[in-house]
Amino acid sequence: MPPLLSLSDITYSLGGRPLLDGAALAVEPGERLCLVGRNGSGKSTMLKIAAGQLEADSGIRFLQPGTTVQYLPQEPDLSGFATTRDYVLDVLGEADSPARGEALLGLLGLTGAENPANLSGGEARRAALARALAPEPDLLLLDEPTNHLDLPAIEWLEGELASMRCAMVLISHDRRLLEKLARGIVWLDRGRTRRLERGFAAFEAWREEVEAQEERDAHKLDRQIAREEDWMRYGVTARRKRNVRRVAELAELRQKRREAVRTGSASAMSASDGGTSGKLVAVAEGLAKSYGDQVIVRDLDLRLLRGDRLGVVGANGAGKSTLLRLLTGVEAPDQGRVTIGSALQTVTLDQQRRTLDPGATLADTLTGGGGDMVQVGDEKRHVIGYMKDFLFRPEQARTPVGVLSGGERGRLMLACALARPSNLLVLDEPTNDLDLETLDLLQEMLAAYAGTVLVVSHDRDFLDRVATSVLVAEGDGRWIEYAGGYSDMLAQRRAAPAAREARSEAKAGRGGAGGTAAAGRAKLSFKDKHALETLLKQIEALTAQIEALRATLADPGLYGRDAGAFARSSAALEQAEAAREAAEERWLELEIQRESLG
């Protein structure tokens, strides 16, 4: 069967650097392919060439006559349209029904009357999706379709795409989406493409196999080059023509070796250690927050302990970012209180990337414009070496931030954030635009991170791999915490109705005087209630004492002036830290007991 679309021997250069170098793509009717590769490898460029939005430097693009194509760009442009309805219906042909476009807008949470100039990133993406899906094309080209979408919208989109009969090429960091939809893989690596006729679940094993073979081939090349260099230095002089030929062959071998080198490795990605925080990181009691008639949080009780990795999940507009600000003390609640733990060093990753200056170079962004060294925790590192940890090439050091891809800007934000010492990481949509390789390394870093993590994400696989519990917006300001990751949360929610019914039956079975007596006994004692009320104040007082003692011991001349005072302060610090740890443990025991008694 002839392909609907084929790209052959495509080349494209950006800023003098070859981005695509002999890349190829062929899409048959009904075929579903995922296009994968590192950020900045040229995936979006290749999709634009496939869509006819960009002209290749050389190569052949062939589209079967009569084939209809719809393209979803990573950053949709709605300028020139009065409403979102006008934008969506603009692509419909005479045979297409406007009703489908209007229905898609409604399913994606839009009315069609919105002014494109006032749309958020998520709303613009929803309008662009409705535009791409409305005509039911023969071929769909989708660049990061789940970016800025909330989980309900992602799950709807997954089902909608699965039900369509058209061919698709997907660029996405959402593993779940790719595992469900893709039936073939096109891997774009160093300007060239490789293809595997299997589902996305086979990609990582395939990639590792290819990389291992490359290492073996590179080792053989090294040996061959060494032999040729040895001949050049010590070999018997032969005819001049033969010498010239062997010199040319050596140069060709060296060029092959340079091309075989896989640039960048983020295996060293790590967060700078900010020391150990107190056991209690944040305690919310009766938390409430509203903006006008919109209730963000209602009567929330939550404990965040050292080492927790709390995922925050909810629809767009549910108040996830506001909740992060409440839990970290940046914003005050309308009711209730948040007690912030001791010795916290917080680093926040902003999903909007507002802190990046598009005119600054990559190196200046990392160094603060101060030479060639990056301050990473307590040590200084050369900016080129630090860049390599985050998969940037040395020649990108002077690249303006404004020309980086979305994923490269995401990596740069990570590099800036992780250089600062922390024991609490607050990550608001950290996975947006990141490639799969960087996502893997970010997950590994968070797994090894000694501190606490608060993360808002719509990436289901990421939450499963990272979160120890998930806090879900259930509507009307209610938030419920579930143990485990996203899949665990779904399982618990499915089981919840049966569990509630069992509890109701058990309660009914215990009725009468015996039940009343048992209920009467199932209460905290007066002493425990008093302890629960006073322990947090005791923890705060001990924290203040610890900070004062640490400040005293930070004086470098104290030991020389008064060795006895130094010893007394050290002993007092050790006692205060032990007392705080014991108070935190006791508070936790009582709080768990209070919750279990309902």
Q: CA 69 from chain center: how many Å?
A: 30
Mean pLDDT in residue range 303-328: 90
Q: What is the pLDDT of residues 253-296, one digit of tens each?
A: 555 555 555 554 444 567 777 777 878 888 899 999 999 888 99
Dihedral angle at the C-alpha atoms of 103, 106, 111, 117, nearest 10 degrees? -100
Q: What is the dihedral of CA 170, 176, 179, 180, to 10 degrees?
A: -90
Lowest mean pLDDT among 58-72, 313-327, 401-415: 401-415
State the DSSP H helix or E strand holding residue 23, giving kind and residue range, or none if neither.
strand 17-27
Contact present, 452 and 274 (Cβ < 8 Å): no
- Residue 292 buriedness (CB in 10 A; 0-12 / 13-18 / 19+): exposed
CA distance 84 to 384: 45
CA 426, 428, 434, 436 torsion-angle sign = positive
pLDDT confidence tier of residue 597, bands split at 50, 70 and 90? low
- Compute the half-sphere exposure of residue 201: CA atoms within 13 Å on the CB side of its CA: 4
Give the pLDDT mean for 90-115.
91
Question: What is the predicted pLDDT for the residue at 351?
Answer: 60
- For the chain, percent of residues with pLDDT exceeding 90: 36
Q: Which residues of 384-412 are buried (b: 16+ CB within 10 A; e: fewer)?
A: bebbbbbbbeeebbebebeebbbbbbbbb
* CA dihedral for 529, 532, 537, 538, sign (positive or negative): positive
Identify whether the C-beta of residue 249 lies closer than 8 Å to the C-beta of residue 261.
no
With a cut of 70, say whether residue 557 has pLDDT above it.
yes
Write the CA distances from 198 to 177, 179, 320, integer angstroms: 15, 10, 37
Mean pLDDT (the chain) is: 83
Decide: 287 and 339 in contact? Cβ < 8 Å: no
SS3 label, residue 290 = strand
More confident residue, 435 or 292: 292
Q: Which amino acid is at 57?
A: D
Do residues 366 and 567 lie in contact, with contact meaning Cβ atoms separated by under 8 Å? no
Amino acid at residue number 113: A
**Could you tell me what percent of the chain has a pLDDT over 70?**
84
Comparing 1-10, 127-136, 586-595, the range with the smallest average pLDDT is 586-595
CATH code of 5-68+137-205, in short, is: 3.40.50.300
Give residue 369's pLDDT: 78
Same fold, 5-68+137-205 and 280-492: yes
Helix, strand or coil, per DSSP, at residue 397: coil
d(CA 134, CA 68): 12
> Tens digit of pLDDT for each residue in 569-578?
888 888 887 8
Question: Position 595: which residue type?
Answer: E
Helix ranges (H only) for 420-512 are 436-448, 460-466, 486-509
How confident is the model over 457-478, as pLDDT tens digits?
Answer: 989 999 998 999 999 998 889 9
For 154, the enclosing helix (H) or strand (E) is helix 151-163
pLDDT tens-place string over residues 498-528: 554 554 554 455 444 444 434 444 566 767 7
Beta bridge partners of 291: 294
Q: Are 425 and 454 in contact (CB under 8 A)?
A: yes
Rounded Cα distance, 495 and 487, in Å: 13
Judged by DSSP in three states, 146 sits in coil
Cα gap 533→221, rounded to integer Å: 71
Write the DSSP symbol of residue 41. Answer: S
Cα separation, 591 vs 596, in Å, equals 9
Query: Per residue in 161-219, pLDDT tens?
Result: 999 999 999 999 899 999 999 999 999 998 999 999 999 999 988 988 888 887 777 67
Task: Give all strands (DSSP E) within 383-464, no chain letters.
Answer: 424-428, 452-456
Bridge partner list, 338: 284
The Cα 458–Cα 554 span in angstroms is 43
Distance, CA of 280 to chain centre: 26
- What CA dihedral angle connects 392, 145, 427 and 397, to 10 degrees? 20
The per-residue pLDDT for 164 is: 93
Domain range list for the chain: 5-68+137-205, 280-492, 524-596
Which fold does the domain 524-596 belong to in CATH? Helix Hairpins (1.10.287)
pLDDT score of 469: 93
If you average pLDDT over residues 17-39, what whole number do you get? 93
Backbone φ and ψ of 489, nearest 5°: -60, -45
Residue 327 parent element (H or E):
helix 320-327
* CA quadruple 102, 108, 113, 118: dihedral sign: negative
- Give, in words, the CATH class of 280-492: alpha beta
pLDDT digits (tens, 9 = 90+) for 442-460: 888 888 888 899 999 989 9
Tell me, rounded to whole angstroms, the distance of Cα 284 from its chain centroid. Answer: 26
| pLDDT at position 514 | 43
**Structure tokens that stand for 252 in this block:** 């060709």
Task: Please give the Cα distance from 297 to 261 (Å, whole number).
Answer: 52
